[in-house]
Amino acid sequence: MNERKNNVKKPSKKDLPPLPVLLTEKELKEKAQVAREIAYHRDLYYNKATPEISDAEFDALERRYNALLNKEIPLLKDIDVHEAKVGATPAAGFSKVVHSVPMLSLGNAFAAEDVSDFMARIRRFLSLADAAPLAMMAEPKIDGLSASLRYEKGRLVLAATRGDGQVGENITAGVMTIKNVPHTLKGSAPDVLEVRGEIYMNRADFFALNAQREAKGEPLFANPRNAAAGSVRQLDASITASRPLSFFAYALGEASPLPFSSQQGLREHLQAWGFAVNEPARLCHSTDEILTYYNALEEQRHALPFDIDGVVYKVNDFALQERLGFVSRAPRWAIAHKFAAERAETILKAITIQVGRTGALTPVAALEPINVGGVMVSRATLHNEDEIARKDIREGDTVIVQRAGDVIPQIVEVLLKHRPAGSAPFVFPDHCPVCGARAVREDGMAIRRCTGGLTCPAQAVERLCHFVSRDAFNIEGLGERRVGELMEAGFIKTPADIFRLHHHRATLALREGWKEKSVANLLEAIEARRTISLDKFIYALGIRQVGEATAKLLAKHYGSLPALQAAMIAAQDETGEAWAELTSIDQIGTLMARDSVAFFAEDHNQQVLADLSSELTLLPFVLVEKQSPLSGKTIVFTGTLQGMGRSEAKAKAENLGARVSGSISSKTNYLVAGEGAGSKADKAAWLGVTVLDEAAWLRLIEAF
């Protein structure tokens, strides 16, 4: 290995070059605001199933945040710093299935520019020239329920929903009733083969099913996707068998060695094994070809017998897919290009204010129910008071509502010609509608927040609901209604009180609507969660800007709660080593770090943590690493690498069990220095850190 170590006097801070300030004060405030909005809307979508914005709007928020982050930290321009939970937590009535290969979701594109950026990112990651060939398979994006079918020795042995991406529901009995799902594969197939695809319902079959339900006085399904999902997730497989379901195959999970090496080869073999594949598909060789296919498919989408909501683009070559790998929520080698949102006209009946767990006051429009893209909608997000003022949205207005994806729509336009006489502008409240505390808006921020804190019932309930939510403690039986009831009755005030509810067993059983069995079930569910992994515990705390991905980063880096607490307390000094270590963690920026430090510094939160620690067993974070020369090492990249792009190198290091950091410290094991390494190489030499040139780096990883 090419190593460099110099006995150079360690420099003082004044000798180190100053970091450039690339964001204005206004942009810094905007970045903080956007980050908080992202965290807020993630919580609504993934934990409460009550989203307020469309996929397109959420994607725009993430793009804006990344644009600001890239300006602040240019080296991060190829990193998606956000992650989203995939799917939903498995329902209690189904047995659980752990996916041997996670079922991840896809990133979204909503415009031609997004697709061009996606293609450019792939080329940068792979260090491909603009003229280098790059084949992409374009396929219709079926609007159904994702499922994984496992075959062993050619026979179907297990079927599961996506679930949360890691754990799904066992739906084998129901899938066995789907007519075009082969129970035994045709021809020669690998010993183990997990075929992934979409369970869906043709539109004609959907309309016929709804007609039957209407005749019987049964509730109607909103759209074919909901009908398919509701049909396959039946505990009684005979109900599933009575529904006209179909299956399209388009991907693989775990599989024995395969006789093909491309997406095109996969499609051909899936058909040979007896599966239907989503058509029409096309192998494209340029961005222009991709967009031509997209435009043609959008024109003919309503002529297809099934619903599609966009197009999926996948790198055709499996070897390139392997190199590209994954970000936390999605593959780098695929993206979903959604069709334009559908619109409808309706009446805005009232504007209400919701209060979230961080105190954010969010306006929501109550609408005259209207069918938008096959779904009846009655609410729309209004985002914040600036949005209301900008569009001059008033109660009683006739509005154009847009829906993009299965989420609460947005109001895109007010039809002033229909405005009723005497209507008045909406006055946004300056006090919390729940607790009456002042609602303040910080300079440069778009959101007004209640100052009531934990004394505000809305915030207290929301915080506890987050604590017990699916991706946190996941305590079954503790929904928002029950949490509110227990708080109002004085049984719980803090998270730790939940684990002391067994002291009130007899009293709870006497309450209206409660029985001994329901109390026993709840207490059993609580007891089952007294042991929890560190990353889920951190996420459950509801720290601003700390979602699941960031919680895992913190758990992975610090390993235990005491170590994390000590580091956060020490990091209050932003000139110290603890702060430098925190902000060097890949994907943790300055504002996110400050929110984490502020949480652990607050006296009340320290008391809550101490109280919880007395009730719980926290499992230290155990990193499952590949055994390699980089296992458990901290590595920093600097300069330009010629053989592989910086993003690919970082992904490779993480895949081999390394912790990738953005800055040099005494805890750094390796600095990989490309051309133009600059000050980081000098600092590594000062600290005695091993420096590898690109050739040494490639030799280090060549066996893996």
Q: How far apart (Å, rounded) are the C-alpha atoms in residues 69 and 74?
A: 8
Cβ-contact 170, 157 below 8 angstroms: no
Rg of the chain taking only CA atoms, in angstroms: 27
With beta carbons less than 8 A apart as the criterion, state whether 344 and 371 touch.
yes
Could you tell me which residues come within 8 angstroms of residue 642 by beta carbon, excluding any fewer than 6 positions away?
Answer: 127, 674, 675, 694
> CA 10: distance to chain centroid?
42
Q: Are strands 617-619 and 531-533 parallel, antiparallel or unpaired?
A: parallel
Tell me which of 31, 85, 141, 552 is the catalytic residue.
141
- Listed in order, strand segments (DSSP E) in 285-423 are 308-315, 334-338, 342-355, 361-372, 375-381, 398-403, 410-414
What tokens were used for 622?
């155990």
Q: Name the DSSP letter for residue 235.
A: S
Q: Specify the length of the chain in residues.
A: 704
Task: Report the first-to-last Cα separation within the chain, whole angstroms.
Answer: 17
> How many whole angstroms separate alpha carbon 432 and alpha carbon 226?
36
Query: 449 to each of 68, 87, 504, how far by Cα in Å?
Result: 23, 30, 35
DSSP string, 339-357: PPPEEEEEEEEEEEEEE-T
Query: Helix, strand, coil: what percent of the chain each, to 5?
Result: 40, 20, 40
285 phi/psi in degrees, rounded to 5 = -125, 10
CB of 628 closer than 8 Å to CB of 657: yes
| Phi, psi of 394, rounded to the nearest 5 degrees | -130, 155
Sign of the CA dihedral 474, 476, 480, 482? negative
What single-letter amino acid sits at 558?
Y
Nearest Cα neighbor of 382 from 353, 349, 418, 416 is 353
Q: Position 8: which residue type?
A: V
Question: What are 645's two structure tokens?
Answer: 């792009």
Handedness of CA 676, 678, 683, 688 (dihedral sign): positive
Let me know if 536 is a catalytic residue.
Answer: no
Residues assigned a catalytic role: 141
